[in-house]
């Protein structure tokens, strides 16, 4: 690979890893509270379509972000109601969300056929064009849209909130021992709701970043292509820590960017093999960490106040 190709790959790695990092911020909080939001793949899909539709009809990406966040709030609330209040199985509920999103977004996109005619307004580049001429770091960092920079900063904020604030301590306590937390007077159910809703908001925003970060269009048939499940794996690989999880997302984003470039390299290897690479890396990373990671003690379990 030439120097220009490496720089282009690094730029794409950040661009593709950014949406995953956004989603991972909320998912870490959700799983730290004990709830596995398996529905983030479907929430990303809805967020991707909502971002495109709102940007198309308003011509304003800020309204697209606000509308997508509200949609994420609603979807997160629905998932929290089912898993926290109704104590449904997290995996089954998440699969239901994902299947409903796949069919629902295809139907809605068919109804919004006018959005296919042109690219919509996308997120702006944060820095002046002259910054992009700086050798190496210019193209890699300063030609990124604003959502990538937000995605790079948010994990540090999330780590501070999780480890340095009372709310973050309460979320961790609820995920490790909700009975003891309730005995100490913590509102366990409310904290779980807050964490799951947060994951819904960031999952929707991650889907919005996927479509409005650069491409400006939506593709039916599952545009997220399993990236929500990649985030779930990244959370495990990252040990439920916001910074390590974000790093894992960057690695998966780099693999995604690499496979896209390999497909255009004129190789005799079928392109489907290259498409598998990010997911093979995900599986390999998970397999290597079996028995080495320690999830929150009530990870994936339902909470019943009567158990106190």
Q: Which of 266, 192, 213, 169 is nearest to 16 (CA)?
A: 213
Residue 220: is it exposed, middle or buried by C-beta count within 10 angstroms (0-12/13-18/19+)?
A: middle
- How many structural domains are present in the chain? 1
Point out which residues pair with 125 in neighbouring strands. 145
Q: What is the CA radius of gyration of the chain?
A: 20
Kindly tell me the sign of the dihedral angle through the C-alpha atoms of 81, 85, 90, 92: negative
Give the pLDDT mean for 193-202: 97
Residue 8 has pLDDT above 60, yes or no: yes
Give the list of residues 6+ apart from residue 176 with CB closer than 8 angstroms, or none.
296, 297, 298
Contact at 8 Å (CB) between 94 and 61? Answer: no
Which residues span the domain enclosing 89? 3-227
Q: Which of 10-24, 36-50, 77-91, 103-117 has the lowest mean pLDDT?
A: 103-117
Over the stretch 239-271, which tens digit does the pLDDT of each residue have?
899 999 999 899 888 887 777 667 666 566 665
For 207-216, write each residue's pLDDT tens digit.
999 999 877 8
Residue 19 within any structural domain of the chain = yes
When pLDDT is averaged across residues 173-177 and rounded to a whole number, the result is 94
Range with the lowest mean pLDDT among 72-81, 87-96, 139-148, 152-161? Answer: 139-148
CA 197 to chain centre: 13
Task: Give the N- to C-terminal CA distance of the chain in Å, as an integer.
Answer: 60
Would residue 85 count as lying in a domain? yes
Asked, for residue 253, whether it belongs to a domain, the answer is no
Distances (CA, A) of 184 to 53, 113, 178, 241: 46, 54, 10, 25
CA 270 – CA 266 distance, rounded (Å): 10
Nearest to 212 by CA among 50, 4, 33, 41: 50
Higher pLDDT, 287 or 124: 124
At residue 19, the pLDDT reads: 92
- 275 in a structural domain: no
Query: What is the pLDDT averaged over residues 170-190?
Result: 93
Per this entry, what is the length of the chain?
Answer: 308
Distance CA 30, CA 65 (A): 21
Residue 121 main-chain phi, psi, to 5 deg: -60, 135
Q: Give me the DSSP letters along 222-250.
A: -TTTTHHHHHHHHHHHTTT-HHHHHHHHH
Residue 158 has what pLDDT?
97
Q: Is residue 91 part of a domain?
A: yes
CA distance 34 to 50: 28
CA distance linking residue 230 with residue 160, whole number of Å: 24
Query: Are the CB atoms for 10 and 189 separated by under 8 Å?
Result: no
Render pLDDT for 90-149 as a digit per residue (tens, 0 to 9): 999 999 999 999 999 988 888 876 666 677 888 988 888 787 778 888 888 888 899 999
Is residue 291 assigned to a domain?
no
Q: DSSP labels for 99-146?
A: HHHHHHHHHHHHHTGGGGSSPPP-PPBSS-GGGGGSTTHHHHHTTSBH
| DSSP conformation class of 268 | S
Q: How far apart are CA 2 and CA 39, in angstroms?
A: 40
Q: 124, 146 in Cβ contact below 8 A?
A: yes
Instruction: Say whether pLDDT at 286 is over 70.
Output: no
In a domain, 265, yes or no: no
């Amino acid at each position: 690979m030439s120097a220009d190709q490496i720089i282009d790959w690094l730029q794409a790695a950040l661009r593709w890893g950014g949406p995953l990092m956004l989603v991972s911020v909320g998912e870490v909080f959700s799983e730290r509270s004990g709830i596995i939001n398996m529905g983030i793949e479907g929430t990303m899909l809805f967020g991707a379509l909502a971002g495109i539709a709102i940007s198309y009809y308003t011509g304003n990406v800020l309204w697209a972000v606000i509308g997508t966040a509200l949609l994420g709030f609603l979807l997160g609330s629905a998932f929290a109601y089912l898993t926290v209040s109704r104590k449904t199985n997290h995996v089954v509920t998440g699969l239901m969300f994902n299947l409903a999103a796949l069919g629902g977004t295809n139907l809605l996109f068919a109804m919004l056929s006018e959005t296919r005619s042109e690219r919509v307004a996308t997120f702006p580049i944060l820095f002046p064009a002259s910054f992009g001429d700086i050798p190496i770091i210019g193209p890699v960092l300063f030609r990124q849209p604003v959502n990538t920079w937000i995605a790079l900063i948010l994990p540090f904020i999330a780590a501070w909130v999780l480890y340095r604030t009372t709310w973050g301590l309460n979320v961790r306590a609820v995920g490790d021992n909700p009975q003891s937390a309730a005995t100490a007077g913590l509102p366990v159910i409310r904290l779980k709701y807050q964490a799951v809703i947060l994951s819904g908001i960031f999952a929707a925003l991650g889907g919005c970043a996927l479509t409005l970060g650069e491409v400006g269009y939506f593709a039916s048939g599952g545009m997220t292509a399993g990236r929500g499940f990649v985030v779930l794996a990244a959370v495990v690989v990252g040990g439920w820590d916001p910074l390590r999880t974000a790093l894992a997302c960057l690695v998966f984003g780099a693999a995604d960017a690499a496979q896209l470039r390999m497909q255009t390299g004129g190789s005799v290897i079928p392109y489907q093999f290259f498409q598998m690479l990010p997911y093979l890396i995900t599986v390999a990373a998970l397999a290597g960490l079996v028995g080495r990671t320690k999830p929150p003690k009530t990870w994936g379990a339902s909470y019943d106040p009567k158990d106190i």
